[in-house]
């Protein structure tokens, strides 16, 4: 293998029940070029046959120094960069960043802007979950859901494209509100999407939820207890599937989330199947939120009173939102200039990925794939 | 001439075309012997295993020539198909690079030579005294007057095999299966410390 | 020599049975070509069917509706550089695909496409098939080992364990079908592939319906085990692409890789043929005993021609519905020619069917042969479609679950079915 | 509101100067050990600290709450509690880390370590701020803990308190070169192992690269 594998420190595990045949431990590299590591994650696996004795994640292949770039850009200039972190949930990234800077400036976006933000963010949450579902199912061997989810995700991307001209890295929001008023027919498009996608989610569930093989592959796989999840700082659907009813949208409401009525789904066992169910329910809850938001969207301005040159006062702020993958936080230190002194992004994928090791120990190679899928990581965000 | 290699008998048994010709016999035996030599001389265990498969398949061919198709089929399905796969399975887990650097013939080779010579002597004596020890089917065939009838009788080879195993030789058959059971238990005990 | 050729034509034996090496060779060539064409067709159909399951179109560019895509692929694979990793065991790496391919194609010598439409009828036919098809795993195992790489090695280990364990359940299911062949007046069964089908004909029932549900369960066991045996979804552990990149053939490329694919599809067809022979009446048309009047014979003999006519009609509809831009002009012509070819075959088959009705000589025999092969291939293609359907629908089993099913579920059930079949067979 | 923003902020007090020179390490550590068993009164009653008054101008204000009182009485001037824009933080002496963090988790139920990060102030004597962002599920409250350390100095690791600190501390080490004592496996996480330099330090240029590493490992002249 290579020198790196020899010095794996957290692979020194308590010895399993040794047998006469245990002398052959296999160390294999999964990734960075591997079809199921969702990009450039490299996991070094220590195997006994097919049983995983330990893992070590090697990350950073996609490290672009986003935080360093932030220190050399103005607040406005940095806004599009955040879309490139979790590129499948770019809208959420933008929302977190804009709200954090607004908080630092002590301004608030107008109500209409907040509603638009909620609609787009929740649409993005559905898109992110759809992408997760497709790739996760593909990892477990079900090819077909991928195409179904991508077909439906396309409708969301079309709405994004119509709204702000971009499909993936949207740069939809600006500090202080939104740049663009909704286009004519936006509400109709969103409502059409709601009626379109609800039966499609049923369709995914028909393929998977009661599928015997799916159940066998996901139940009791990658179990993480609530205590472990909290200690490891795991957030988002992964935490909720372990039974912790915690969602920043409810716990510390931001944007306009306090106006809406929705449930937080939680799981019981913290296994892969529960995480699957939690995300499926979350998609439906997002539909509920979007429906309420699009029906109750107020008239008014979409841009708050922010100065042309954004120059926050000296100070520091931490603001976090519930991104599709968990708590996405921005810690911004301002020195009073037009450029942030330091921006720290608290990436949910990065922290969640850390739980991989304890989730897969003692399982099989195939489960590692399932667990990487169920953690729903995006390497752009892990590596930044 | 060996009656098995008798062309007339051949055509009667196979329904026309002679199969058990001297050419096939020598070819298959030659392959088996070459394979056997390769098995013990190759340094790489996987190559040895592949050579062993060639030997086993050649022997299966020889069985076919002896009009024992059932034994040939079993030879393929059990030895070449099943056991060799398990062999390879185990060999693949062994560190070939290190194993191939080890000395192939270690100090106990004289003992091996003695054992091989003894076995060889046994075979030779069996070959010489064979007619007295075993009922010679080939002789029986040549004594029969009507080859067509014999061919018919042989066609029910599987039936006869079944009747022998579950009739005349039931005890030996069961003893053999008991032996295998013991081997299985031994393997389980060897691999698992706590059961 | 002409005598050698002509004398066989009136025979009701297989070329092997008649000892006619010339016709045996002809049959071997026909089967080899036929299987290769079937693999090519299967390739296209799988891609198209899978695409339509997944709301895609599949290949559309090379030829009308991608009909020439398999040929383009084959050409590409043949021209591609054949990479042998420098650390690989050169000889074994080279020989591994050939082992798989040989094993997959050798079994076709005993597959009975009709009562005399087989290369040879061994009296251990089914045993020979199982034995030789089990040699196919050797190719996979040594391929994985020779690549000298971790993923292929794991794939090879998985597939060897998988195949060895599923062969047991598969063999027991086969035995329960063979026990059924002995339920005749003489009380002797047969291992001959042709004999098995003839036994079904004599007993007037496909073995899948014999002692319902015993035959059905044994068939079910075999149908599951054969999917595992051929490494297809949902049991495609050996080449699970999301886990082991490509499993045992990760390091293979070009022609050598395509040999693996060829072997895989050939093996799929072979095991489906076993299932068809053992449980679905082999070459027999539906209700051969019930509807055996000459009129019925004629009606059923029209089926092959009508099938091709139907295919031609579909191709014709495709031609008509082709968009009218000039870009599609060549495609339209190509599809029309294809439709014409299919129609021509249909016409030929119908002519033979009509002619065979009044004739009693060689044309009638030819007509019968077409019927046998047609029904056999039709039944096999149902299985081929099932293979695609499984792949589109199900996630992949995990390795330990696969072994658990093999040893803890299928083996006891198949053993039980065998015992019960034997008891029921003795009682009745 | 926006007008307020435009008004020039009061001159930035360099963060480090807010605190008295904290050289009480010798006393601080044992005192924690002493008081820990003697403080059974878990302030469950003070689950909701008094909402801090929102400052008109963005100036950190003292943070007043029972929680703060408790720790102030324990540690005195080694700990300072402030609030800024409604967000509370402790500025503490380096010697209190990680004991204070452990207390916060055990006694105040800050069971979730959201993030660990650092900020570089090259002109200060103690160049680095290390910041822990904590959250309490039962209290639904966030708090930040800040401390200052000098370049080359090390700080106690909190991996034994929150398992999540493992990678977070590794990232801080990777980006700033701050050492954490007692970390089980302190090595680079995002940058390759042999890389020289810590990119998020202010003296590390945005275009700067470890040319030697690039040339050796990537076989190209320059990564630019």
Which CATH number covers residue B43? 1.20.120.1200
Q: 3-state DSSP call for residue D87?
A: strand
With cut-offs at 50, 70 and 90, classify the pLDDT of residue D35. Answer: very low
With cut-offs at 50, 70 and 90, classify the pLDDT of residue D57. Answer: low
Q: Report the number of distinct structural domains present in chain A.
A: 2
pLDDT surpassing 90 at residue B182: yes
B85 → closest Cβ in C18, C92, C137: C137
Show residues of chain C in contact with B11, CB under 8 Å. Answer: 19
Q: Which residue, of A58, A76, A92, is where some domain finishes?
A: A58
Identify whether C306 is part of a domain: no
Query: Minimal CA–CA distance to B93: which of C161, C100, A42, C99?
Result: C161
CB contact under 8 A, A10 and D185: yes
Show residues of chain A in contact with D171, CB under 8 Å. Answer: 350
- For residue B194, the model assigns a pLDDT of 57
Tell me the per-residue pLDDT of C338-356, one tens digit each, with 9 for 90 and over: 899 999 998 888 888 888 7
- For residue B179, the model assigns a pLDDT of 92
CB contact under 8 A, C245 and A26: no
Identify whether B178 is part of a domain: no
User: CA-CA distance, B174 to A337, in Å (whole number)?
Assistant: 92
Arithmetic mean of pLDDT, C383-396: 89
Identify whether B92 is part of a domain: yes
Q: DSSP label at D13?
A: P
Identify whether C20 is part of a domain: yes
User: CA-CA distance, A207 to C28, in Å (whole number)?
Assistant: 43
**Nearest CA of chain A to the CA of D119: how many Å?**
7
Arithmetic mean of pLDDT, C7-26: 71
- Residue to substitute from C150, C159, C243, interface A, most A β-carbons within 10 A: C243
User: CA-CA distance, C166 to C410, in Å (whole number)?
Assistant: 8
Identify whether C342 is part of a domain: no
pLDDT surpassing 70 at residue B114: yes
- For residue B119, the model assigns a pLDDT of 92
- For residue A64, the model assigns a pLDDT of 86
Tokens read off for C278: 């053992």
Q: Report the number of distinct structural domains present in chain B.
A: 1
Nearest C-alpha in C relative to B44: C89
- For residue C3, the model assigns a pLDDT of 66
Residue A306, domain CATH? 1.10.645.10
CB contact under 8 A, A68 and D140: no
- Residue to substitute from B55, B86, B158, interface C, most C β-carbons within 10 A: B158
With cut-offs at 50, 70 and 90, classify the pLDDT of residue D38. Answer: very low
Arithmetic mean of pLDDT, D125-140: 87
A197-201, A246-250, C329-333, D216-220: range with lowest mean pLDDT: D216-220
Of C21 and B153, more confident: C21
- For residue A336, the model assigns a pLDDT of 82
A20 → closest Cβ in B95, B190, B194: B190
CB contact under 8 A, B194 and A17: yes
The CA-CA-CA angle for residues C360, C361, C365, to 5°, reads 90
Q: What is the pTM of this model?
A: 0.80
Identify whether B33 is part of a domain: yes
- For residue B157, the model assigns a pLDDT of 67
Identify whether C229 is part of a domain: yes
Helix %, strand %, coil % of chain D (to 5): 30, 20, 50
Identify whether B150 is part of a domain: no
Residue A12's domain comprises 2-58
Nearest C-alpha in C relative to B82: C164
Nearest C-alpha in B relative to A22: B191
Tell me the per-residue pLDDT of D139-173, one tens digit each, with 9 for 90 and over: 888 888 888 888 888 888 888 888 888 888 888 98
Q: Which residues pair with D144 in a beta bridge?
A: D89, D133
- For residue A48, the model assigns a pLDDT of 75
CB contact under 8 A, C123 and B50: no
A137 → closest Cβ in C150, C244, C395: C395
pLDDT surpassing 80 at residue C32: yes
Query: Minimal CA–CA distance to A255: which of A293, A312, A311?
Result: A293
**Nearest CA of chain C to the CA of B145: how many Å?**
23
Nearest C-alpha in C relative to B79: C131
C189 within 8 A of C178, measured Cβ to Cβ: yes
Tokens read off for A260: 């809406």
Percentage of residues in chain C having pLDDT higher than 70: 95
- Scanning the structure block, which residue is given the tokens 């988002």? A236
Residues A261, A377, single domain; the answer is yes
Q: Which residues pair with A45 in a beta bridge?
A: A28, A55
Tell me the per-residue pLDDT of C280-326, one tens digit each, with 9 for 90 and over: 888 888 877 777 777 777 888 888 888 889 999 988 888 888 887 88
Tell me the per-residue pLDDT of B26-41, one tens digit each, with 9 for 90 and over: 888 999 999 988 888 8
pLDDT surpassing 90 at residue B117: yes
Tokens read off for C212: 């319902």
CB contact under 8 A, C138 and B84: yes
- Residue to substitute from B12, B57, B65, B76, interface C, most C β-carbons within 10 A: B76
DSSP strand pairing (D154-156 vs D179-181): parallel
Residues A38, A147, single domain; the answer is no
Tell me the per-residue pLDDT of C74-109, one tens digit each, with 9 for 90 and over: 888 888 888 888 877 788 888 888 888 888 888 888
Tokens read off for A138: 């593909």
Identify whether B119 is part of a domain: no
Look over chain D and give the mean of its residue pLDDT values, rounded to a whole number: 72
DSSP for D36-63 reads TTT------TTSSPPPPPPPSSS--EE-
Identify whether C405 is part of a domain: yes
Identify whether B18 is part of a domain: yes
With cut-offs at 50, 70 and 90, classify the pLDDT of residue C241. Answer: low
Q: Where are the beta strands (DSSP E) in chain D?
A: 61-62, 79-84, 87-92, 112-120, 128-136, 141-149, 154-156, 179-181
Nearest C-alpha in D relative to A73: D206
Arithmetic mean of pLDDT, C125-140: 84
- For residue B94, the model assigns a pLDDT of 64
Identify whether B149 is part of a domain: no
Contacts of residue C259, Cβ cutoff 8 Å, sequence gap at least 6: C97, C98, C100, C101
Show residues of chain A in contact with D166, CB under 8 Å. Answer: 354
Q: Which residue, of A29, A58, A87, is where some domain finishes?
A: A58
DSSP strand pairing (D112-120 vs D87-92): unpaired
Contacts of residue C323, Cβ cutoff 8 Å, sequence gap at least 6: none
CB contact under 8 A, A213 and C234: yes
Q: Report the number of distinct structural domains present in chain C.
A: 1
Of C189 and C278, more confident: C278
Subunits adjacent to chain B (3 or more Cβ pairs under 8 Å):
A, C
Please give chain A's pLDDT, 384 residues, in tens: 333 333 333 444 344 444 434 456 777 888 787 777 777 888 888 887 678 888 888 888 888 888 888 888 888 888 888 888 888 888 889 899 998 988 888 888 888 888 988 999 999 999 999 999 999 988 888 888 889 999 899 999 999 998 888 888 888 888 888 888 888 888 888 999 999 998 999 888 888 888 888 888 888 888 888 888 888 888 889 999 988 888 888 888 888 888 888 888 888 888 899 999 999 999 999 999 999 988 888 888 888 888 888 888 888 889 989 889 889 999 998 888 888 888 999 989 889 888 888 888 888 888 888 888 888 888 888 888
- For residue B115, the model assigns a pLDDT of 92
CB contact under 8 A, C124 and B84: no
Contacts of residue B170, Cβ cutoff 8 Å, sequence gap at least 6: none
- For residue B121, the model assigns a pLDDT of 92
pLDDT surpassing 60 at residue B6: no
Identify whether B36 is part of a domain: yes
Look over chain C and give the mean of its residue pLDDT values, rounded to a whole number: 83
Show residues of chain C in contact with A29, CB under 8 Å. Answer: 150
Q: Which residue, of A16, A31, A58, is where some domain finishes?
A: A58
pLDDT surpassing 80 at residue B131: no
- Scanning the structure block, which residue is given the tokens 């435009």? D6
Alpha helix positions (H), A54-110: 66-71, 75-82, 90-105
Alpha helix positions (H), B144-169: 147-155, 157-163
Residues 121-160 of B with CB under 8 A from A: none
Tell me, yes or no, if B191 comes closer than 8 A to chain A by beta carbon.
Answer: yes
- For residue D27, the model assigns a pLDDT of 38
Residues A316, A358, single domain; the answer is yes
Touch test D–B: 3 Cβ pairs or more under 8 Å: no
C21 → closest Cβ in B17, B47, B80: B17
A60 within 8 A of A350, measured Cβ to Cβ: no
Nearest C-alpha in B relative to C24: B17
**What is the enclosing helix (H) or strand (E) of C364?**
helix C362-393
Residues 144-163 of C with CB under 8 A from A: 150-151, 154, 157-158
| Count of beta carbons in the 10 Å neighbourhood of residue B135 | 7
User: CA-CA distance, A104 to D36, in Å (whole number)?
Assistant: 37
Arithmetic mean of pLDDT, C255-283: 88
Arithmetic mean of pLDDT, C117-132: 81
Residue C422's domain comprises 2-284+359-427
Residue B76's domain comprises 1-104
CB contact under 8 A, D137 and A244: yes
Q: DSSP label at D99?
A: H
- Residue to substitute from D48, D51, D55, D85, interface A, most A β-carbons within 10 A: D85
């Amino acid at each position: 293998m290579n020198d790196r594998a020899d010095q794996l420190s957290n692979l020194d595990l308590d010895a399993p029940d040794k047998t006469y045949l245990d002398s052959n431990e296999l160390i294999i590299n999964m990734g960075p070029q591997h079809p199921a590591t969702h990009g450039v994650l490299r996991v070094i696996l220590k195997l006994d046959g097919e049983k995983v004795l330990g893992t070590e994640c090697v990350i950073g292949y996609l490290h672009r120094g986003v935080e360093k770039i932030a220190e050399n850009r103005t607040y406005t200039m940095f806004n599009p960069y955040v879309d490139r972190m979790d590129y499948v949930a770019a809208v959420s990234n933008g929302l977190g960043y804009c709200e954090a800077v607004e908080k630092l400036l002590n301004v608030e976006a107008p109500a209409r802007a907040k509603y638009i933000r909620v609609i787009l963010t929740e649409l993005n949450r559905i898109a992110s979950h759809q992408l997760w579902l497709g790739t996760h199912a593909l990892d477990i061997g079900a090819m077909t859901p991928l195409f179904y989810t991508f077909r439906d995700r396309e409708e969301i991307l079309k709405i994004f494209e119509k709204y702000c001209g971009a499909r993936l890295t949207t740069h939809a929001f600006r500090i202080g509100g939104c740049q663009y008023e909704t286009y004519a027919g936006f509400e109709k498009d969103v409502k059409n999407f709601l009626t379109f996608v609800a039966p499609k989610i049923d369709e995914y569930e028909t393929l998977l939820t009661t599928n015997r093989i799916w159940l066998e592959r996901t139940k009791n796989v990658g179990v993480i207890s609530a205590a472990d999840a909290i200690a490891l700082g795991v957030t988002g659907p992964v935490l909720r599937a372990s039974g912790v009813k915690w969602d920043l949208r409810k716990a510390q409401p931001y944007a306009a989330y306090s106006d809406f009525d929705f449930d937080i789904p939680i799981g019981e066992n913290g296994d892969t199947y529960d995480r699957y169910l939690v995300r499926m329910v979350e998609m439906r809850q997002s539909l509920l939120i979007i429906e309420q938001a699009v029906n109750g969207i107020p008239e008014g301005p979409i841009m708050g009173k922010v100065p042309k040159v954004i120059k926050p006062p000296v100070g520091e702020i931490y603001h976090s939102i519930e991104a599709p993958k968990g708590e996405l936080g921005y810690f911004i230190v301002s020195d009073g200039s037009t450029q942030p002194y330091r921006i720290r992004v608290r990436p949910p994928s990065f922290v969640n990925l850390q739980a991989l090791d304890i989730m897969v120990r003692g399982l099989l190679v195939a489960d590692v794939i399932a667990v990487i899928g169920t953690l729903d990581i995006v390497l752009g965000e892990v590596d930044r | 001439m060996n009656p098995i290699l008798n062309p007339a008998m051949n055509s009667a048994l196979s329904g026309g075309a002679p199969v058990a010709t001297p050419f096939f016999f020598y070819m298959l035996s030659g392959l088996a012997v070459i394979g056997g030599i390769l098995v013990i001389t190759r340094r790489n265990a996987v190559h040895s295993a592949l050579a062993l498969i060639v030997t086993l398949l050649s022997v299966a061919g020889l069985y076919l020539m002896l009009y024992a198709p059932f034994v040939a089929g079993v030879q393929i399905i059990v030895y070449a198909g099943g056991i060799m796969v398990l062999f390879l399975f185990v060999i693949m887990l062994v560190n070939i690079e290190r194993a191939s650097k080890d000395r192939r013939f270690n100090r106990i080779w004289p003992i091996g030579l003695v054992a091989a010579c003894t076995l060889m002597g046994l075979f030779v004596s069996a070959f010489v005294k064979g007619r007295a020890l075993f009922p010679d089917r080939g002789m029986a065939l040549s004594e029969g007057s009507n080859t067509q009838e014999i061919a018919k009788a042989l066609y029910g080879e599987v039936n006869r095999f079944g009747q022998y195993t579950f009739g005349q030789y039931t005890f030996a058959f069961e003893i053999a299966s008991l032996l295998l059971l013991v081997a299985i238990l031994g393997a389980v005990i060897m691999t698992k410390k706590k059961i | 020599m002409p005598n050698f050729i002509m004398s066989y034509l009136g025979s009701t034996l297989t070329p092997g049975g008649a000892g006619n090496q010339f016709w045996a060779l002809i049959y071997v060539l026909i089967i080899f070509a036929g299987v290769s064409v079937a693999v090519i067709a299967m390739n296209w159909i799988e891609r198209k069917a899978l695409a339509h399951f997944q709301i895609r179109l599949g290949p559309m560019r090379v030829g009308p509706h991608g009909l020439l895509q398999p040929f383009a692929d084959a050409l590409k694979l043949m021209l591609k550089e054949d990479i042998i990793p420098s650390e690989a065991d050169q000889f074994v790496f080279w020989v591994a695909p050939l082992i798989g391919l040989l094993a997959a194609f050798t079994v076709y010598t005993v597959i009975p496409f009709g009562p005399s439409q087989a290369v040879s009828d061994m009296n251990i036919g089914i045993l020979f098939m199982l034995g030789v098809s089990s040699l196919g795993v050797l190719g996979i195992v040594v391929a994985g080992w020779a690549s000298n790489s971790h993923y292929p090695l794991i794939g090879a280990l998985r597939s060897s364990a998988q195949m060895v364990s599923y062969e047991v359940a598969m063999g027991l299911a086969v035995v329960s079908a063979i026990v059924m062949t002995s339920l005749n007046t003489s009380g002797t069964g047969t291992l001959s592939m042709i004999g098995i089908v003839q036994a079904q004909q004599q007993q007037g029932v496909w073995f899948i319906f014999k002692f319902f549900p015993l035959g059905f369960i044994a068939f079910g066991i075999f149908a599951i085990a054969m999917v595992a045996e051929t490494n297809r979804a949902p049991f495609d552990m050996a080449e699970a692409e999301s886990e082991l990149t490509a499993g045992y053939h990760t390091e293979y490329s070009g022609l050598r890789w395509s040999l693996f694919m060829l072997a895989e599809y050939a093996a799929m067809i072979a095991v489906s043929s076993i299932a068809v022979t053992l449980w679905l009446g082999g070459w027999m048309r539906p209700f051969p005993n019930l509807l055996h009047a000459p009129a019925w014979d004629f009606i059923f003999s029209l089926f092959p021609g009508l099938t091709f006519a139907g295919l031609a009609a579909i191709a014709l509809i495709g031609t008509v519905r082709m968009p009218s831009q000039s870009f599609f002009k060549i495609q339209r012509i190509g599809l029309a020619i294809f439709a014409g070819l299919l129609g021509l075959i249909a016409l030929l088959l119908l002519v033979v069917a009509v002619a065979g009705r009044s004739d009693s000589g060689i044309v009638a025999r030819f007509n019968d042969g077409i019927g046998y092969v047609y029904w056999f291939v039709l039944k096999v293609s149902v299985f081929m479609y099932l293979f695609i359907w499984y792949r589109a629908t199900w996630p992949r089993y995990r390795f330990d679950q696969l072994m658990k099913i093999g040893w803890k579920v299928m083996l006891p059930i198949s053993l039980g079915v065998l015992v019960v079949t034997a008891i029921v067979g003795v009682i009745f | 509101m926006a007008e307020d923003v435009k008004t020039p902020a009061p001159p930035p007090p360099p963060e480090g100067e807010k605190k008295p020179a904290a050289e009480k390490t010798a006393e601080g550590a044992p005192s924690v050990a002493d008081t820990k068993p003697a403080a059974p009164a878990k302030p469950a009653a003070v689950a909701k600290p008094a909402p801090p008054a929102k400052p008109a101008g963005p100036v950190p204000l003292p943070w007043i709450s029972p929680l703060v009182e408790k720790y102030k009485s324990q540690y005195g001037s080694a700990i300072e509690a402030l609030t800024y824009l409604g967000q509370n933080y402790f500025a503490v002496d380096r010697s209190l880390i990680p004991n204070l963090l452990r207390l916060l988790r055990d006694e105040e139920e800050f069971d979730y370590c959201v993030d660990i990060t650092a900020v570089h102030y090259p002109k200060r004597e103690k160049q680095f701020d290390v910041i822990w962002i904590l959250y309490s599920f039962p209290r639904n409250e966030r708090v930040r803990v800040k401390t200052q350390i000098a370049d080359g100095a090390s700080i106690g690791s909190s991996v034994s308190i929150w398992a999540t600190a493992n990678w977070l501390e590794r990232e801080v080490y990777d980006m700033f070169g701050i050492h954490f004592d007692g970390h089980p496996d302190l090595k680079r996480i995002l940058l390759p192992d042999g890389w020289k330099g810590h990119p998020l330090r202010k003296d590390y240029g945005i275009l700067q690269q470890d040319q030697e590493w690039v040339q050796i490992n990537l076989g190209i002249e320059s990564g630019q």
